[in-house]
Amino acid sequence: MSYEMFFEAVKTLLWKSLDDIPEYKLVEYMKSQEDVIKSQYNYWEEQVEVNNETVTEESLPGFASGAAYSLYLLYEG
Protein backbone atom coordinates (compact mmCIF):
# COMPACT_ATOMS: atom_id res chain seq x y z
CA MET A 1 0.00 0.00 0.00
CA SER A 2 1.56 3.24 -1.11
CA TYR A 3 0.86 6.60 0.51
CA GLU A 4 -0.59 7.85 -2.78
CA MET A 5 -3.10 4.98 -2.86
CA PHE A 6 -4.05 5.68 0.74
CA PHE A 7 -4.41 9.43 0.08
CA GLU A 8 -6.69 8.75 -2.90
CA ALA A 9 -8.81 6.34 -0.87
CA VAL A 10 -9.20 8.95 1.88
CA LYS A 11 -10.11 11.55 -0.76
CA THR A 12 -12.76 9.29 -2.29
CA LEU A 13 -14.37 8.59 1.08
CA LEU A 14 -14.18 12.19 2.27
CA TRP A 15 -15.64 13.56 -0.95
CA LYS A 16 -18.74 11.43 -0.42
CA SER A 17 -19.40 13.46 2.74
CA LEU A 18 -18.14 16.83 1.49
CA ASP A 19 -19.46 16.66 -2.05
CA ASP A 20 -20.47 20.32 -2.02
CA ILE A 21 -16.88 21.54 -2.43
CA PRO A 22 -14.78 21.36 -5.60
CA GLU A 23 -12.15 18.66 -5.82
CA TYR A 24 -9.25 21.11 -5.81
CA LYS A 25 -10.54 22.64 -2.54
CA LEU A 26 -10.86 19.17 -1.04
CA VAL A 27 -7.27 18.37 -1.97
CA GLU A 28 -6.09 21.71 -0.55
CA TYR A 29 -7.87 20.95 2.71
CA MET A 30 -6.45 17.43 2.83
CA LYS A 31 -2.93 18.73 2.28
CA SER A 32 -3.41 21.24 5.10
CA GLN A 33 -4.34 18.32 7.38
CA GLU A 34 -1.78 15.88 5.98
CA ASP A 35 -0.43 15.04 9.42
CA VAL A 36 -3.74 13.28 10.17
CA ILE A 37 -3.54 11.27 6.96
CA LYS A 38 0.12 10.38 7.44
CA SER A 39 -0.47 9.30 11.02
CA GLN A 40 -3.23 6.90 9.96
CA TYR A 41 -1.18 5.70 6.99
CA ASN A 42 1.83 4.96 9.18
CA TYR A 43 -0.35 3.09 11.66
CA TRP A 44 -1.96 0.90 9.00
CA GLU A 45 1.29 0.35 7.14
CA GLU A 46 2.82 -1.00 10.35
CA GLN A 47 -0.22 -3.19 11.08
CA VAL A 48 -0.17 -4.66 7.57
CA GLU A 49 3.53 -5.45 7.91
CA VAL A 50 3.26 -6.93 11.42
CA ASN A 51 0.28 -9.09 10.48
CA ASN A 52 1.74 -10.01 7.09
CA GLU A 53 -1.47 -8.90 5.36
CA THR A 54 -2.11 -8.02 1.75
CA VAL A 55 -3.89 -4.78 0.94
CA THR A 56 -6.46 -5.10 -1.82
CA GLU A 57 -8.73 -2.59 -3.54
CA GLU A 58 -11.55 -3.94 -1.41
CA SER A 59 -9.69 -3.55 1.90
CA LEU A 60 -8.14 -0.14 1.23
CA PRO A 61 -11.31 1.88 2.04
CA GLY A 62 -11.46 0.18 5.42
CA PHE A 63 -7.95 1.35 6.20
CA ALA A 64 -8.69 4.87 4.93
CA SER A 65 -12.05 5.33 6.66
CA GLY A 66 -10.61 6.47 9.99
CA ALA A 67 -8.58 9.24 8.38
CA ALA A 68 -11.55 10.31 6.22
CA TYR A 69 -13.83 10.45 9.26
CA SER A 70 -11.28 12.43 11.27
CA LEU A 71 -10.89 14.95 8.44
CA TYR A 72 -14.65 15.23 8.11
CA LEU A 73 -15.02 15.99 11.82
CA LEU A 74 -12.24 18.58 11.67
CA TYR A 75 -13.82 20.22 8.63
CA GLU A 76 -17.29 20.35 10.13
CA GLY A 77 -15.98 21.40 13.54
What DSSP assignment string belongs to 5-51? HHHHHHHHHHHHHSTTS-HHHHHHHHHHTHHHHHHHHHHHHHHHHHT
* pLDDT tens track for 5-54: 999 999 999 999 998 899 999 999 999 999 999 999 999 999 999 999 88
Yes or no: say if 60 and 6 are a contact pair by the CB < 8 Å rule. yes
Distance, CA of 24 to CA of 36 (rounded, Å)? 19
pLDDT score for 25:
96
Give which of 59, 71, 70 is closest to 51, Cα–Cα. Answer: 59
